Amino acid sequence: MKDLFVNTQLPVVTSDRILYTPSNFARTSLLYLQEIGSLQVHKPHSTGRSNLSSYLFFTVTDGEGELICEGRTYSLRTGDCVFIDCRKQYAHSSSEKLWSLSWIHFYGPNMTAIYDKYLERGGRAVFHPVSVSGFLEICHRIYELADSDDYIRDMKINSELNYLLTLLMNESWHPGEKHRDADLKKQNVLPVKQYLDEHYQEKISLDFLAEHFFISKYYLTRVFREQFGVSISSYLMNRRVTKAKYMLRFSDEKIKTIGYKCGLGEPHYFSRVFRHMEGMSPLEYREKWEK
């Protein structure tokens, strides 16, 4: 239901919002919208919430203000974006430079894990993207969907919210010019990744990589995760299992041989690792794709 609200007795805020009621299917299986809208503040104004089963994304489209979240205070200006967990207490307020906002409240069965990954990647409650246009375009598309009679709008909204989270994940790696400058000073560990891509079938240890590339293993571990979003060991294991899957499907090599050729060693270890990642043994995987 779309609601255009103007407080005529005390014209503090003008808002244009849609309170959205998703289907039961959306609530249990998808990312789903709870509320979307925009507002213009006409006088300094504050609002706060806590214990909401919701995640909030908003953009300051004009003016300035302040956010208080998890004991920290953030100054907000035009072009800033906010992404927070509303189960935790928060409050935001406009300054004398009266602001306008565009916001989305949304939720989903896996949002806790997704937000944890966002934080793990360096995501912050407040960031200033190079361009806010992509975020505003998503807000506009979701608003139009929520206000439509499209019979698969929950699916389309889910798609748009996934795209929003993709942009947020990407932005978490580059949350501002200050952080990008710091990243440029870091040693580039792309050669390490390239080495893993070429030598994944060999026995590779962190100590070996540190010595081979003349870099502290602790520094290498941290920077590799920062640059590629995964640990060295996980990247190497994914590379090996992916190669094994190709060989199981597109070659006649014996399973025992594939394990050694992919750097996964003895058959029992190969089978254990493969089952852990794919949910089935190498033989079951091969047979499944032969059908």
Reported pTM: 0.72
Q: What is the pLDDT of residue 142?
A: 97
Q: Give me the helix-helix angle, 153-173 and 111-120, nearest 10°.
A: 20
Q: By C-alpha distance, which of 230, 216, 220 is closest to 192?
A: 220
Alpha carbon distance 261, 266 (integer Å):
11
pLDDT in tens, 94-125: 999 999 999 999 999 999 999 998 988 888 99
**234 or 8, which is more confident?**
234
Give the phi and the psi of residue 228 in degrees, each rounded to 5: -120, 0
Give residue 13's pLDDT band: very low, low, confident or very high (50, 70, 90): confident
Alpha carbon distance 180, 192 (integer Å):
21
* Cα angle, residue 115 at apex, residues 47 and 108 outer, rounded to 5°: 80
Please name every residue paired with 73 in a beta bridge, in sequence order, or none if there are none: 68
Give the helix/strand (H/E) hosting 46.
strand 46-49
pLDDT in tens, 65-92: 999 998 899 999 999 999 999 999 999 9
Residue 212 has pLDDT above 80, yes or no: yes
Q: What is the pLDDT of residue 281?
A: 92
**12 or 195, which is more confident?**
195
With contact defined as beta carbons under 8 Å apart, do 93 and 105 qualify? Answer: no
Give residue 144's pLDDT band: very low, low, confident or very high (50, 70, 90): very high
The upper half-sphere exposure of residue 117, i.e. CA atoms within 13 Å in the direction of its Cβ, equals 12
Q: Give me the helix-helix angle, 190-199 and 217-228, nearest 10°.
A: 90
Q: By C-alpha distance, which of 158, 159, 134, 157 is closest to 146?
A: 157
Q: Give me the helix-helix angle, 232-250 and 267-278, nearest 10°.
A: 100
What does the chain come to in residues? 291
**Token pair for residue 51?**
């214990």
Q: Which residue do the tokens 């004398």 mark?
A: 96
What is each CA distance from 266 to 106, 242, 256, 257, 283, in whole angstroms? 47, 17, 7, 9, 15
